[in-house]
Amino acid sequence: MTHGADRAAYERALTGSSRLFAVWPGEWSSHLFVIDDLDEYAKAHGIKHDEVRTGLKEHVHDVRWEETSYGNDNPRSPYLSIDVSLDCGCTIHDLRTFAAQMEAQRGWDVATSVGWGSSGGPEGTKYGMRVRRKSLTG
């Protein structure tokens, strides 16, 4: 028996060599559920791309970015705060998916363990995030 949500477990379940279960902890006992919708499982864990959950299509994004006017007062910091605009019609609902796409497309190292956010205005939606400085120039 193993635990975790990885691609190997998903593929074993697809071939029928193992089954996936979820445990819902209760106050006095826990409940065990069989995961029977493997497609939804794969989308929820990022094994399969899910445009509805992430807001992102699988294509090369038309991205504009600019350094924010705040939070960048330390030139020695390895990370830079930036505002990102997507001119391709996508929206960011899942930063990890966007970070993976930007790493593949532009070589960006987007910080996923810190806060991020969005703001809308007449010029569209801007997404604030932190990116490793050196990856923006490469």
Give how far the C-alpha of residue 128 lies from the chain's centroid of Cα atoms, to the nearest Å: 14
Residue 74 confidence (pLDDT): 87
Residue 83 and residue 110 in one domain: yes
Residue 58 confidence (pLDDT): 87
**pLDDT tens digit string along 124-136?**
999 999 999 999 9
∠ Cα 52 14 45 (to 5°): 35
Domain holding 90, by residue range, is 56-137
Residue 31 and residue 63 in one domain: no
Residue 86: pLDDT over 90: yes
Of the candidates 31, 33, 37, 32, the one whose C-alpha atom is nearest the C-alpha of residue 13 is 37
For residue 2, being part of any structural domain is answered with no
Query: What pairs with residue 21 in β-bridges?
Result: 34
Average of pLDDT values for 79-87? 95
Residue 92 and residue 116 in one domain: yes
Residue 43 confidence (pLDDT): 79
Burial class (CB in 10 A: 0-12, 13-18, 19+), 56: buried
Residue 29 confidence (pLDDT): 84
**pLDDT tens digit string along 8-54?**
888 888 888 888 888 888 888 888 899 888 888 887 877 777 788 88
Residue 2 confidence (pLDDT): 61
User: pLDDT band at residue 5, thresholds of 50, 70 and 90?
Assistant: low
Check if the beta carbon of residue 110 is closer than 8 Å to that of residue 116.
Answer: no
Extract the tokens encoding 20. 């996936």
Residue 1 confidence (pLDDT): 56
Q: Could you list the beta-strand ranges (E) of 68-109.
A: 79-86
Residue 81 and residue 128 in one domain: yes
Full strand arrangement of the beta sheet holding 79-86: 63-67, 79-86, 124-132, 117-121
Residue 126 confidence (pLDDT): 96
Residue 114 and residue 73 in one domain: yes
**pLDDT tens digit string along 90-112?**
999 989 999 999 999 999 999 99
**pLDDT tens digit string along 63-82?**
999 999 887 888 889 999 99
Ramachandran category for residue 71: left, alpha or beta (phi over 0 → left; psi -120 to 50 → alpha): left
Q: How many helices (H) and strands (E) does the chain have?
A: 5, 6
Residue 77 and residue 132 in one domain: yes
